[in-house]
Amino acid sequence: MTAQLIDGEALAQKIRNELIREVETLKETGKNPHLFAVQVGEDPSSQVYIRSQAKSCEEIGLQYTLESLPKDITEADLIRHIRGLNQNPSVTAIIVQMPLPEGINAQRVQSSVVPEKDAEGMNLASMGRLVHGNAKLAPCTAMAAVELIKSTGVEIRGKEVTIIGRSAIVGKPVALLLLDLHATPTICHTRTRDMAFHTKRADILVVAAGKAGFLGGDMIKPGAIVIDVGINRVPEYDAAGRPVLNKQGKQRQKTVGDVDFESAKKVAAYITPVPGGVGPVTTVMLLRNVVEAAKLA
């Protein structure tokens, strides 16, 4: 068997096109989706992410505002500021850019965003709604994994799903979302005794451990759907096993997932590539949350 590739770029484009139409309809009814990003200080590592966030909003007609606050702002003032945005009717969604300066509790700050405007869908109130099965806005990567599974057309109801990784942004919300779709999820983690037992009986596998290529074809049930969430940077080698060098003579790095793609694709029925699988769909899930938030406004 050679698995069919689940093309994340193509799915992301399809969803983007749907969102463009939804944004137009919202604007016709007088609702203007507006993502307001709050940044504290100017961490250079987040600049590229912020630029691409602004561009992807623009592409589908969403208003985007970035506000940079001084890095010496106190946590209390930052929370007060966010409460002001919660009250502002022209702001329909809020995102707090990470990282925040040392001494500021990110969870407390993120949780000061009202759940109706929580663009990332992962503050404490949004997570609570997820547990209760009525989340309108959910964590983007978890929703991306679910959209990729749905795109195969395979019925989710009643399926055994094994998720590797129990983080609050991926593993746990994926399990909750799939539970609501009537699957039977199992979550594996570093203390799981016999991981192969769980992976080999899974009709659907979602792998989010952050360990390059650690899940091989020998751990996958023939015909399974494999969603590889991992993003890992590893040194690059050529076919003869020699390091591939860049112009400066340093070894090049490449991005790989948690799944050993070559062995897995021989066993699975569907598999996501890395890059080009979960990543691009995660980006559009943020946009979808912004559109959903505008509907709630």
Q: Which residues bind ligand NAD (CB under 6 A)?
A: 141, 164-167, 169-171, 188-190, 192, 195, 208-211, 214, 229-232, 278-279, 282
Which of 114/227 has CB closer to ligand NAD? 227
Which of 91/185 has CB closer to ligand NAD? 185
- Give every CB contact of residue 276 below 8 A, 6+ residues apart in sequence: 7, 8, 9
Which of 203/228 has CB closer to ligand NAD? 228
Q: Give me the least distance between CB of 87 and ligand NAD, in Å please.
A: 31
Q: Give me the least distance between CB of 124 and ligand NAD, in Å please.
A: 17
Query: Quick one: which of 5, 68, 23, 90 has its CA closest to 284?
Result: 23
Closest residue to ligand NAD, Cβ-based?
167
Q: Give me the least distance between CB of 62 and ligand NAD, in Å please.
A: 19
The structure tokens listed for 102 are 């040392």
Q: Give me the least distance between CB of 54 and ligand NAD, in Å please.
A: 18
Burial class (CB in 10 A: 0-12, 13-18, 19+), 101: middle
Q: Give me the least distance between CB of 208 and ligand NAD, in Å please.
A: 4
Q: Give me the least distance between CB of 74 and ligand NAD, in Å please.
A: 28
Contacts 24+ apart (CB under 8 A), 218-222: 218/263, 219/195, 220/264, 220/267, 220/268, 221/267, 222/1, 222/267, 222/268, 222/269
Which of 78/278 has CB closer to ligand NAD? 278
Residue 182 CA to residue 38 CA, distance in Å, equals: 37
Paired with 245 in beta bridges are: 251
Residue 9 CA to residue 133 CA, distance in Å, equals: 28
Q: Give me the least distance between CB of 232 and ligand NAD, in Å please.
A: 6
Which of 211/295 has CB closer to ligand NAD? 211
| DSSP character string of 20-57 | HHHHHHHHHTT---EEEEEEES--HHHHHHHHHHHHHH
Q: Torsion-angle region of residue 42: left (phi > 0), alpha (psi -120 to 50) or beta? A: beta
Which of 41/210 has CB closer to ligand NAD? 210
Which of 114/213 has CB closer to ligand NAD? 213
Residue 135 CA to residue 249 CA, distance in Å, equals: 50
